[in-house]
Amino acid sequence: MSSKKNLFDANVEHVGFLSPSDIKLLVCYILKSIGKPIEKDIVISSITTHELANYYTVCEAITSLISLGNIEEYENLLSITAKGSEAAGQLEISLPYSVREKVIYATMDTLLNIKSKNENNVKVEKTDNGYLVSTTINDGDIKLFSLCVYAPDSMQADFIKEKFLRNIKNIYMANIEMLF
């Protein structure tokens, strides 16, 4: 396996799964495994995150799959058709387990991050001497946890905000663990 990178592969390591048909299969496999329509960016991110293909290759595969009738796009949501599901079911065994596992893990991680952003509140508030970044973890209407952290500038405040959103479960669990 070569780790050589160049302009033509957009700095994606050669991992042996870059054929257009493999990328199409990955897209169908993701949509079939998730089982519901998901945003196009999530599908793209799930494949590019683990350097299985570059952004442009994935976009080309999605466009091709739409034109072939294997997937549908509606308001930036992708869903698999019966034709695409059948193809993915027949061909998914041709993809190595480690590739399937990486892609599904990345997709689920992305979906959890989106859910976390929608359910948990993070605010950045400017003060006289910096910023306060506050997060609140809710379970429905119940406020479970709240935390406020000082940041000296907006860049650090934005960094803290993203860390809150990405690690909210771990932050909550670590604090609860320290209390008990």
Q: What is the CATH number of the domain that holds 54?
A: 1.10.10.10
157's CB contacts (< 8 A; 6+ apart) are: 124, 130, 131, 133, 151
The parent domain of residue 173 ranges over 120-179
pLDDT at site 18: 58
- Given 61, 85, 115, the domain boundary residue is 115
- For residue 1, is it within any domain? no
pLDDT at site 7: 40
- Given 93, 115, 137, the domain boundary residue is 115
Q: Give, for 130, the enclosing helix (H) or strand (E).
A: strand 130-139
Residue spans of the chain under pLDDT 70: 1-18, 90-92, 110-118
pLDDT at site 101: 78
Q: For the whole prediction, is pTM greater than 0.75? A: no
Question: CA 37, 38, 42 angle in degrees (round to 5)?
Answer: 160
- Residue carrying structure tokens 């302009």: 7
- Given 85, 115, 145, the domain boundary residue is 115
| 127 and 41 in a common domain | no
- How many domains does one find in the chain? 2
